[in-house]
Amino acid sequence: MARPGRDPRFVDAILDWPPTWFLARLLLVSAYLLGGLVKLTDWPGAVAEQAHFGMTPPALWAALTIAVELAGSALLLAGRLVWLGAGALGVFTLLAACTANAFWTMPAGPERFMATNAFFEHLGLIGGLVLAALVSELEAGRDRRRA
C-alpha cells in the first residue's frame, strides 16, 4: 500500500533500478539515433531533406544534422557531458521545429493543425532534454558530496 506523500514501493523499485536511467535516456534520444543512422546510410536522402527545407548548402546541413543527432545522443547515453549533448539536441530541435513546423505562416486547416501539434511536441522534447541535463547534474553533485 502506498504511504501518504511517498511513492508506491513498485515505483521506488523501478526508479531505483540501475538500468532505468539509461533506458530513459535511450528512449529520449531514440528518434535522434534513428534519424542520424538513417541519414548516414542514405546520404542522398539526407541532402534532399535539407534542400526541401531550403537549407543551403544542403550537404553541409545534412552533415551537421547527422553529427549533432549522433554525437548528442552518444553523450546522453554515455552519461558524460550530458548538458552538452542535451543542449546540442535541444538547440537543433528548436531550429528544426521552427524550420519544418512553422505553423504561424500557414493558413488555417489540417496542415496547420498538424504543424502546430508537431511544433509543441518538439518543445516537449526540449523540456525532456533539459530534465535529463538537470538530473545528470543532480547525480554529479550527489557523487561529489559522497567523495
Each residue's pLDDT tens digit, 72-129: 999 999 999 999 999 999 999 999 999 999 999 999 999 999 999 999 999 999 999 9
Q: How many other CB atoms sit within 10 Å of the CB of residue 40?
A: 15
- DSSP type of residue 25: H
What integer is the mean pLDDT of 135-144?
82
More reliable by pLDDT, 137 or 141: 137
- What are the C-alpha distances in Å from 110 to residues 1, 16, 103, 106? 46, 43, 11, 10
Q: Which domain holds residue 115?
A: 9-146
Mean pLDDT over each residue of the chain, to the nearest integer: 92
pLDDT at 147: 66
Q: Is 3 inside a domain boundary?
A: no
Q: Is 123 inside a domain boundary?
A: yes
pLDDT at 2: 44
pLDDT at 12: 86
Q: Is 4 inside a domain boundary?
A: no
- What are the C-alpha distances in Å from 133 to residues 8, 13, 74, 88? 26, 23, 14, 11
Q: Is 120 inside a domain boundary?
A: yes
Q: Is 1 inside a domain boundary?
A: no
- DSSP type of residue 1: -
Q: Is 75 inside a domain boundary?
A: yes
Q: Is 21 inside a domain boundary?
A: yes
Record the pTM. 0.87
Q: Is 29 inside a domain boundary?
A: yes
Domain tally for the chain?
1
Q: Rounded CA gap, 96 and 109, in Å?
A: 22
- For cell 501518504, what's the residue? 4
- For cell 535529463, what's the residue? 132
- pLDDT, tens digit, for every residue of 17-58? 889 999 999 999 999 999 999 999 999 999 999 999 999 999
